[in-house]
Chain A
Amino acid sequence: MPFWSWYGLNSGKASMRWPKGEEDGQERLLGMPRFEPAKCKDGCQRCAEACLPAAIRVLDAAGRVDASIPRVEVDYGRCVVCQMCVEVCPTGAFSASQDWAFGVRHREDLLWRDAVNSPDAQELRGEIRRVFGRSLHIRHVDSGSCNGCESELQALNNPYYNLHRLGIFFTASPRFADLLLVTGPVTYALRGPLLEAYGAMAEPRFVMAVGTCAVSGGVVAGSYSCGQGLDGVIPVDVYLPGCPPNPTAIIHALLMLLQRMPQRVKRGQLAAGVDHA
């Protein structure tokens, strides 16, 4: 209908320019709480007791869970951004931040000391513009999410984020996909379909765990019908925790992956190195 064309043209451009420019659309959004161990004084453990997904644990020197020794460990791969620790901490060791969750290549980088200033993240800041122009096709699989991640993934194709401007597309068939983007904790019923989708992809293929559920199982880890996310199911290239990760954080992780692509292909060891399904 002609009036829609006129209306569309007349509305002008709505898209963000990020990662060019500063505006990322996430003004005042609360991210993962920051942890400053120096401020953790009396080892009251209220943070660990208030942490439903057990992202905060109290460990002894050997790394075992021990409530009598105040050494707090934070695993951002389990954090669901509920801000409970910030509210209960009496000394301000946990504070609210606007740090988005963002992708890392190694699961262990999500421990607190490495997350925000991980080498990957530092490298990314300098390199992000270089990766423009590389196309990526994504097959999304929901392995049992709460639909929060889907809500934010669907937002990627709205006019504001306009994912197509970066040459990144969602595709229907895993055969055409470069990346398997998985949300959810992997329920018993979706484990099979997930493995089939992964098996149908051509090499080189990549996997991104999006959302805390896919990274670690999130709030339902270990339930009678759920697993612990993607670990042990299929090999993961980028972990992006968040509950849910915001659309800019997802774009950030996708660009990070694109930067990695040529490395994977050059090594020439993909067949041996990737297929541990």
Chain B
Amino acid sequence: MSTAEPKTRSPAFPGRISLTDVEPGELRAACQNALATGARMQMAYAWFPDRSSQPEVRYLLHWRGRHPLQLWRTRPQADSLPSLAPLAPLLSWYEREITELCGVTFQDQPQPDPLVLLPGARATRPPLIPGPPVSLEYTPAAHSGLPEMTGPASGDVQWLPFGPIRADVLESAQFDFFYLGEAILHYHPQLFFKHRGMEKRFEGVRPELGVVLAERVSAVGGVAHALAYCQALEAAARCTVPPRAAYLRVLLAELERLYNHLHYLGHLCHTTTLKVGEAQGKYLEELAKQMNARATGSRLLRSLLTPGGLRREPSLAGLTQALEQIEREYLPYAAMLEASTTHLDRLITTGHLSPQLAFDQGATGPIERASGLDRDLRRDYPYAAYGELPFELVSSEGCDAHARAQVRMAEITRSIELIRCIERELPAGAIRAPCEPQARTEGLGWAESPRGSLYYAVHLNDIGTLARVKIKSPSFSNWRVFPFTVHDSNMMDYAINEASFGLTIAGCAR
């Protein structure tokens, strides 16, 4: 097989994606070749074409440079495939998830334990295999992947299981720390207490209603989720969104980035105990959310996106002034954060993430850009109106918590500039085009959410409702990376490091 010359090209992905059939026996060689040229595996998922019990596994690749995205399609033999995780470590979580949810096993998987279902949970069958409703039995059991401490000082090592209900108003997750004094020897997050079966929930839903679900996968990334979902259906239907709707979609996506990044700064100050900085960051977030409500009727910018465009016009009167007020308060705030030595002392060198580790383990969004990786879907694979708007990628070589905060601070300024630009250049015209994907079509959609790259792969069944929706969320990628920055760090820095990643659990657990 030649990776450069795709054998088949799906009409659903004109120009931007190529679809290539790969035999299971050729997978490893193909993966090795791709990685050698600097390509990155982005995600893998399985689905069941024609409601059969014969799975098909897909891999998504991002070639170095501006090549089209590439999808590999393979049919497992006897429900088994060679594991690619030893070559591309970030695929490990995807493979484990496919095993649990779709029943495909991977030979030589380096870490074959369940990922999504908790120890002690047993489903009547892997939930995504077509068939009658699945039920889940659960008897809580100890996690088998925790290390055993031996040796002369092992009695001094403390084990702290923290969560799943944590102090403050936070999402549920359990973190196991093994520590000696202040030093963290080992850290294991259990992130899937909140697994709701969202991907299964899409099955059988009419495409235009699926957006209600997409907005509720991770609420604070709702615009990006809805946008990637709608774009996947638009690719399936070969529908072009009217220019006005494309510009307004960018506006919504940047408003989402704005309130998320402001929240991020407030929360980061909370962990460094900079009280006024926390209050100001969260106040600015509140101003942004109230601005969202006045513009769209929803503080979280919900209920506007739909396959084909927008459901209704947002009301842009007053947006300019609200944005001005936020910017007027934000600029001195950002300058003061960057001049606060007690704050900076806690951030600089904290949670170091090397460019190599960020690349290999799949870091995305502001996290990878803060570790020197120059990637952003808005620039690399422009969607909506990003290709027509000025865009400047923000990155940093700092690789630490401070760099991650700086990237987000610079992105706030860029978002405000982009919103202003859209206000000036917004084309007139319709905001919705008919989007009626045919039965048995498929599409891939993506968006750069505030937390990084987000992909939706959508397949329609023989009656035109949703057969399979795969969600690759940025937090799923970044949670995979995060523990590598925790091992060998210290307890005092943990909360700061976690806040500097700005992760969600709902997006990861789905």
A204 contacts the other chain (Cβ, under 8 Å)? Answer: no
- A146 lies within 8 A of B216 (CB): yes
Contact indicator A225/B298 (Cβ below 8 Å): no
> B281: nearest residue on chain A (CB-CB)?
A158
Q: Does B196 contact A (CB under 8 A)?
A: yes
Tell whether B89 is near chain A: CB-to-CB under 8 Å: no
Complex interface: chain A residues within 8 A of B168 (CB): 140, 170, 172
- Interface contact A224-B123, CB-CB below 8 Å: yes
Residue of B nearest to A172 (CB): B167
Docked complex Cα distance between A241 and B342 (Å):
42
Query: Closest approach, in angstroms, between the C-beta of A40 and any C-beta of chain B?
Result: 21
The stretch that binds A, out of B34-42, B180-188, B197-205, B351-359, is: B197-205
Query: Are A220 and B283 also in contact (CB < 8 A) when A148-B300, A150-B170 are?
Result: no
* Interface 0/1 of A145-174, CB less than 8 Å to B: 111111111110111110000000010100
Bitwise interface map of A from 1 to 29 toward B, beta carbon under 8 Å scored 1, else 0: 10111011001001000000000011111
Interface residues of A in 79-110 (CB under 8 A from B): 80-84, 87, 96
How long is the Cα–Cα vector from A27 to B289 in the complex, in angstroms?
11
Q: Is the CB of B336 within 8 A of A154?
A: no
Q: Please report the total number of A residues contacting B with Cβ < 8 Å.
A: 67
Tell me, yes or no, whether A184 is within 8 Å of chain B by CB. yes
Q: Is B94's CB within 8 Å of the partner chain A?
A: no
A234 at the binding interface (Cβ < 8 Å): no
Q: Which of A120-163 contact B (CB under 8 A)?
A: 139-155, 157-161
A244 at the interface (CB under 8 A from B): yes
- A148 and B220 within 8 A (CB): yes
Which residues of the partner chain B approach A5 to less than 8 Å between Cβ atoms?
276
Inter-subunit contact A155/B283 (CB<8 Å): no
CB of B294 within 8 A of CB of A27, answer: yes
Q: Tell me which residues across on chain A come within 8 A of B140, comparing CB atoms.
A: 192
Interface residue from B196, B293, B336 paired with A185 (Cβ < 8 Å):
B196
CB pair A29–B219 under 8 Å, yes or no, is: no
| Range of interface residues on B (Cβ < 8 Å) | 35 or more
Contacts of B134 in A (CB 8 A): 224
Residues of A close to B196: CB separation below 8 A: 144, 185, 187, 220, 223, 225-226
Given contacts A7-B336, A30-B303, A148 and B216 within 8 Å (CB-CB): yes
Q: Are B282 and A159 in contact (CB under 8 A)?
A: yes
Docked-complex contact A28 and B294, CB < 8 angstroms: yes
Judge whether A223 and B197 touch: CB under 8 Å.
yes
Render A169-210 as a binary contact track against B, CB cut-off 8 A, 1 for contact: 010100000000000110111101110010000000000000
Is B485 among interface residues, defined by CB-CB distance under 8 A? no
A96 to chain B: closest residue by CB: B297
With a 10 A CB-CB cut-off, give which of B169, B286, B294, B336 has the most chain A CB atoms: B169
Contact of A240 with B by CB under 8 A? no
Q: Is the CB of B212 within 8 A of A219?
A: yes
| B136 lies within 8 A of A50 (CB) | no
What's the Cα separation between A81 and B213 when bound, in Å?
12
Question: CA A120 – CA B465 in complex, angstroms?
Answer: 42
Of all chain A residues, the one with the shortest Cβ separation from B134 is: A224
Q: Nearest residue in B to A243 (C-beta to C-beta)? A: B216
Q: Judging by beta carbons under 8 Å apart, are A4 and B336 in contact?
A: yes
**A80 vs B453: C-alpha distance in the bound complex, in angstroms?**
27
Give the docked Cα–Cα distance between A67 and B301 (Å): 33
Q: Identify A4's interface contact among B171, B195, B274, CB under 8 A.
A: B274
Checking A7, A80, A152, A192 against B276 with a beta-carbon cut-off of 8 angstroms, the contacting residue is: A7
Q: Which residues on the A side are within 8 Å of B282 (C-beta)?
A: 154-155, 157-159
A145 CA / B169 CA spacing, docked (Å):
12
Which residue from A96, A139, A144, A146 sits with its C-beta under 8 Å from B218? A146
How far apart sit A218 and B289, CA to CA, in the bound complex (Å)? 23
- Considering only residues 190-241 of chain B, those with a C-beta below 8 Å from chain A are 192-198, 200-201, 205, 209, 212-213, 215-220, 222
Whether B172 lies near A144 (C-beta < 8 A) is yes
Q: Is A147 touching B123 in the complex (CB atoms < 8 A)?
A: no
Cα A159 to Cα B312 in complex, Å, equals 32
> Given A1-B342, A159-B282, A189-B118, are A146 and B217 also a contact pair (CB < 8 Å)?
yes
List, in ascending order, chain B residues with CB within 8 A of A139's CB: 165
In the assembly, what is the distance between CA of A30 and CA of B296, in Å?
A: 8
A189 near B193 with CB under 8 A, answer yes
Identify which of B198, B215, B280, B297 contacts A11 (C-beta below 8 A). Answer: B280
How many Å lie between the Cα of A96 and that of B172 in the bound state? Answer: 34
B299 within 8 A of A: yes
| Residues of A contacting B19 in the complex (Cβ-Cβ under 8 angstroms) | none
Q: Does A74 reach chain B (CB closer than 8 Å)?
A: no
A-B contact pairs, 28 of them (CB 8 A): A1-B340, A4-B336, A8-B279, A8-B280, A27-B294, A52-B205, A81-B302, A140-B168, A146-B217, A148-B219, A158-B279, A159-B286, A161-B286, A187-B196, A188-B121, A188-B136, A189-B193, A189-B194, A190-B193, A193-B172, A193-B193, A194-B165, A218-B216, A219-B216, A220-B197, A224-B136, A225-B196, A243-B302
The 5 closest A-B CB pairs, nearest first, are A148-B219, A30-B297, A172-B167, A158-B282, A223-B197
| Residues of A near any B CB (own CB < 8 A) | 1, 3-5, 7-8, 11, 14, 25-30, 50, 52, 80-84, 87, 96, 139-155, 157-161, 170, 172, 184-185, 187-190, 192-194, 197, 218-220, 223-226, 243-244, 246
